[in-house]
């Protein structure tokens, strides 16, 4: 006969334990839910992280600029070599044609010189290396063959050079693509952080940045710093006309600029070509290691890796394109780690 027992009821102690565990779970869940807001970064923390990301983006930008400049240089060199190869091949064909006409004329008269048969060979070197055959060549034919040999060597060398530069170009393009993605990733990350701020916090940061950028038309006391050379002053005055223009990585004007884009553009207006990147511009002239010795128009290099550059404006000020989100403006030379000046 089946036994019909009532299910065993949980003890009061067990109920108490379960209830306590459930209550604890609710508390922990509540704490976890409340933890997210407490992890939100303050406005100042966001600004600090965003500034760091912008600095890293500018570092990548100067590498991007260098790769872009190298790409353009390689493309020009490759184009020149390819043009030379095309002209060289035409010259070689002309030399061979002229020798061919001489052979044809001798053939028609039945007196073809055996030496002219080397025209049928793709390698005149092999023929000329045979002394017995060389005796049968006229002085004019020898000179023509030497020209063919020389032209063949030139073409082989130029084709080899073009091949090497094409490989270098492919590597440079890969580097360019990587650095472009790196810059974009840094800027996107900075924007993501800024988006975590409230409207009021964003407005406060914008106001602070606006005060730093100043109005492009506002007069800045540049003191009585000694003027640089005529061209340095012309470059500085050209840069002054760009006050208020937005920063954009990789830009060289005249709508937008990055730091080295502004300085290279400014000196170009003075008729002076300087390098494209801040690191290269650091080697374009005489270095000035004392701030007190700077003259208006000197380049000013910042940061240990030399990834930022501006123009000395006098009275401890530089004129530069700072970073994303700012405009071409004056700023204290002490706001960034000064390395040295460069007198072009």
Catalytic residues: 259, 308, 320
DSSP designation for 224:
T
Bond into 254 cis (ω within 30): yes
Six token digits for residue 135: 């005796």
- Residue 300, Cβ density class (10 Å: 0-12 exposed, 13-18 middle, ≥19 buried): buried
- Other C-beta atoms lying within 10 Å of the C-beta of residue 289: 9
Quote the CA–CA distance of 294 and 43 in Å, as a whole number.
Answer: 37
The Cα-based distances of 195 to 192, 199, 300 in angstroms read: 5, 9, 34
Six token digits for residue 339: 């390395």
> To 10 degrees, what angle do helices 259-269 and 230-240 make?
120
Q: Give, in degrees to the nearest 5, the angle at Cα 46 between 43 and 48.
A: 110
List beta partners, residue 311.
299, 319
Residues 6+ apart with CB under 8 A from 167: none
Q: Give, in degrees to the nearest 5, the angle at Cα 221 between 266 and 326.
A: 55
Nearest Cα to Cα of residue 134 among 220, 301, 212, 126: 126
Q: Residue 250, by phi and psi: left (phi above 0), alpha (psi -120 to 50) or beta?
A: left
CA 210, 211, 213, 219 torsion-angle sign: positive
Six token digits for residue 232: 């340095």
Are 318 and 312 contacting, i.e. CB atoms less than 8 angstroms apart?
yes
């Amino acid at each position: 006969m089946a036994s019909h027992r009532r299910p065993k009821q949980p003890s009061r102690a067990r109920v108490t334990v379960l209830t306590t565990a459930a209550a604890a779970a609710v508390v922990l869940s509540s704490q976890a839910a409340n933890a997210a807001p407490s992890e939100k970064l303050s406005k100042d923390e966001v600004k600090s992280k965003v500034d760091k990301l912008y600095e890293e983006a500018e570092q990548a930008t100067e590498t991007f600029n260098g790769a872009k400049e190298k790409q353009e240089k390689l493309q020009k060199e490759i184009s020149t070599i390819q043009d030379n190869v095309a002209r060289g091949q035409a010259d070689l064909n002309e030399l061979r044609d002229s020798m061919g006409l001489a052979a044809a004329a001798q053939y028609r008269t039945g007196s073809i010189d055996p030496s002219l048969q080397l025209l049928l060979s793709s390698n005149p070197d092999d023929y000329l290396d045979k002394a017995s055959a060389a005796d049968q060549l006229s002085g004019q034919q020898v000179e023509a063959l030497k020209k063919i040999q020389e032209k063949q060597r030139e073409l082989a060398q130029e084709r080899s050079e073009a091949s090497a530069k094409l490989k270098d170009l492919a590597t440079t393009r890969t580097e360019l693509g990587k650095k472009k993605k790196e810059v974009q990733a840094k800027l996107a990350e900075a924007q993501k952080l800024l988006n975590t701020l409230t409207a009021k916090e964003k407005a406060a940061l914008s106001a602070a940045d606006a005060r730093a950028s100043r109005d492009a038309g506002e007069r800045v006391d540049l003191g009585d710093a000694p003027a640089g050379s005529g061209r340095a002053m012309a470059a500085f005055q050209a840069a002054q006309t760009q006050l208020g223009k937005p920063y954009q990585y990789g830009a060289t004007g005249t709508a937008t600029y990055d730091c080295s884009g502004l300085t290279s553009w400014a000196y170009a207006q003075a008729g002076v070509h300087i390098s494209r990147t801040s690191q290269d511009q650091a080697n374009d002239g005489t270095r000035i290691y004392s701030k007190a010795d700077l003259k208006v128009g000197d380049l000013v290099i910042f940061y240990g890796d030399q990834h930022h550059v501006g123009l000395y404006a006098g009275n401890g000020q530089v004129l530069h394109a700072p970073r994303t989100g700012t405009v071409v403006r004056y700023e204290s030379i002490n706001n960034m780690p000064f390395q040295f000046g460069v007198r072009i």
